[in-house]
């Protein structure tokens, strides 16, 4: 890779980061606080998504586990049964991902609560949710406002936002539990 190509990639990454900062400023702090309250109230927290969004939700489940929450990723072989009062957190940019919708409906049928992180507040997933964290960005999966596009491909800005929002939620949550986020968490993996 030539230096000029590397510079262009760095410039693209920097522009993407600036655009992402603007997107994150448009997310409701009140909705994030409502999501944190649901997490604190739930006996168990289940994270659900598809594709790259699922990777971001795996990170959320891990951070919650680090702080002592009983958190799981839907579909993993060690994920226990969902029960009344449990919380399902879904991430879907479009809010129409069929496998995510099916899981949200099932969680509702079992007496659980549902929260979602999505671009579309009017989506079927949002309609199933107790709390909707809306991310004002673009995804190529659906009929979305092209003026919200960023320099990043497809739904990348949504996925990046999900990761940063979940990591940002950890800061007040860890403080409330007495954890110093700069010293790691007691439940961090130690067989590595």
Measured in residues, the chain has a length of 192
Half-sphere exposure of residue 8: CA atoms within 13 angstroms, side-chain side: 5
Reply yes or no on domain 3-177 having CATH 3.40.50.10490: yes
Tokens of 92: 């879907």
What is the DSSP code (8-state) at residue 71? E
Say what the pTM is: 0.90
| Residues of the chain where predicted confidence (pLDDT) is lower than 50 | 1-4
- Write out the two tokens for 77: 């072989």
Of the candidates 66, 69, 76, the one whose C-alpha atom is nearest the C-alpha of residue 42 is 69
Sheet holding 71-73, edge to edge: 71-73, 45-48, 87-92, 113-118, 131-134
Catalytic residues: 159
Helix/strand/coil percent split, the chain, to 5: 50, 10, 40
Kindly state the helix (H) or strand (E) to which residue 27 belongs, with its residue range: none
Domain residue spans of the chain: 3-177
* Pairing outcome for strands 71-73 and 87-92: unpaired
pLDDT digits (tens, 9 = 90+) for 35-58: 999 999 999 999 999 999 999 999
- Residue (of 95, 156, 150, 154) closest to 127 by Cα position: 95
Query: 3-state DSSP call for residue 128?
Result: coil
Residue 187, pLDDT score: 83
Q: Are the CB atoms for 12 and 156 separated by under 8 Å?
A: no
What is the predicted pLDDT for the residue at 1?
Answer: 42
- Secondary structure letter of residue 154 according to DSSP: T
């Amino acid at each position: 890779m030539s230096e000029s190509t590397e510079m262009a990639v760095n410039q693209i990454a920097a522009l993407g980061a600036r655009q992402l900062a603007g997107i994150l400023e448009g997310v409701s702090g009140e909705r994030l606080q409502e999501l944190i309250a649901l997490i604190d109230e739930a006996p168990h927290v289940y994270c659900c998504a598809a594709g790259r969004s699922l990777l971001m939700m795996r990170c959320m489940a891990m951070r919650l586990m680090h702080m002592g929450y009983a958190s799981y990723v839907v579909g993993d072989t060690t994920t226990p049964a969902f029960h009344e009062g449990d919380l399902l957190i879904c991430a879907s940019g479009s809010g129409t991902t069929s496998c995510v919708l099916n899981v949200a409906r099932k969680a509702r049928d079992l007496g659980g609560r549902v929260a979602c992180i999505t671009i579309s507040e009017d989506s079927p997933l949002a309609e199933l949710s107790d709390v909707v964290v809306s991310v004002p960005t673009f995804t190529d999966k659906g009929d979305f406002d092209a003026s919200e596009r960023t320099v990043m491909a497809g739904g990348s800005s949504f996925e990046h936002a999900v990761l940063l929002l979940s990591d940002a939620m950890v800061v007040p949550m860890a403080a409330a539990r007495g954890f110093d986020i700069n010293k790691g968490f007691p439940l961090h993996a130690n067989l590595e």
